[in-house]
Structure 1
């Protein structure tokens, strides 16, 4: 049985009717972005499920594919890019290694560690899944007016927020 969510418009209308003080002077930009994030996440999860991938595994494969050829980096570089703990990274790497999507070659620069590298199977998979995800996201973006303008505004806003992260720590 499919569970249908209340539309964002209905949710905000009900909130304004029954709890107006919670929305006085509040922009709907952030709540709308949260809801959009939910839809985009669901879209991605459904695609990943088709390929037996978890979101963290997808992100790890993307981070490796975004590295210079031969698509190998240290585990430390990898978990810093993904903002996961080293323990969490170890679990992700073990799953990806079991699926033969990555390999762990020796690190010639540091004999105490091993690198993380995409296998040809992993490279092929991440490129295929990413292409499908981009196609699905493009279909959603095509539904809005002036996507380029929205993109510029969002990127500028994100850059402003991220530039202040260093000054203020994790809280804005």
Structure 2
């Protein structure tokens, strides 16, 4: 993998040597998570590019796929799940609909609005991307000591943060 920056170990060594106050305790944990996020994002973005999808579009397809069959949600439900503005959500849905990845059936609970439903093609695309993404992520996780323990710890940490 092409490195655009120095490795994290080089960065942390430099911090410990040249700025020990900034490297004390667990102060390198957040920068390590940011760097890991960059690696994961780069991997995902390369895959999304192959499908001409933006990250928010993929997340929208995932939100629909994670909903119970027939994989329909209201636009409001989706933008609340993804923390996207309603205007941004409209742009995403328009693009996905033009590509045949979602449909816009009537809302049986409110005739004034339309649902967003994952099309058969959209379901195939999101499942195909996810399968490839998970495979690539598993390769990265091969470098991780005790991935199950790390997953549990991160999940517990996020749960505590999000309960506040």
Paired position in structure 2 for 1:137: 137
Superposition TM-score, scaled by structure 1 size? 0.89
Query: TM-score, with normalisation over the residues of structure 2?
Result: 0.93
Query: CA-to-partner distance for each residue in 1:2-37, whole Å, 9 max, x for gaps?
Result: 662111111122233333333344432111011000
Q: Distance in 2 between matches of 1:150 and 1:96?
A: 35
Counterpart position of 2:65: 65
1:112 to partner: Cα distance: 0.7
Q: Answer yes or no: is 1:74 the counterpart of 2:78.
A: no
Paired residues in the alignment total: 163
Aligned to 2:94: 94
CA distance in 1, matches of 2:88, 2:55: 13
| Structure 2 unaligned regions, length at least 5 | none
Aligned to 2:152: 152
In 1, Cα distance between equivalents of 2:113 and 2:124: 26
Residues 9-88 of structure 1 aligned to structure 2 (within 5 Å)? 9-88=9-88
Provide the C-alpha distance between the structure 2 equivalents of 1:3 and 1:34, rounded to a whole number of angstroms: 15
Aligned-partner Cα distance in 1 for 2:145–2:19: 31
Mark the runs of 5 or more structure 1 residues left unpaired by the alignment. Answer: 165-172
State the superposition RMSD in angstroms. 1.4
Separation in 2, partners of 1:58, 1:46: 12
Instruction: Please give the alpha-carbon distance, in whole angstroms, between the structure 2 residues aligned to 1:108 and 1:153.
Output: 42
